[in-house]
Amino acid sequence: MKMTMSDSIRNDKKLTPEAAEGIAIQALGFIAADAQLLPRFLDLTGIAAHEIRRAAGEPGFLAGVLQFVLAHEPTLLQFSEASGVAPQDVGRALRSLPAGDDRYEINI
């Protein structure tokens, strides 16, 4: 029996930050590979394409990637189908990342 990432996440009561980061990185790759999503993501975030690598290291960036995916149900469902990550696990991943909810402090 093949176990997907979503299966392993569901078997754990708590989503680890590492697993959440993995989902967010998959989502970023999904966005970057889509000719329609990438320009929209860049426009909404104000990030230039050549700045993505630097921005990915900033607190909250990966949470922003997941917020982008979650904000548009067709995008969420396409990402879930392509990655094998269940839609609800994308939301769980968001809540496990810095700036994914109000449990984290960010110094600006």
Residue pair 31/38 in contact (Cβ under 8 Å)? The answer is yes
pLDDT of 3 above 50? no
Q: What is the pTM of this model?
A: 0.80
Nearest to 99 by CA among 24, 6, 8: 24
CA distances to 20, 51, 59, 62, 93 from 54, in Å: 19, 5, 11, 12, 21
pLDDT of 64 above 80? yes
Residue pair 38/32 in contact (Cβ under 8 Å)? The answer is yes
Q: Which residue has the tokens 């093949």?
A: 2
Instruction: Provide the pLDDT for residue 103.
Output: 52
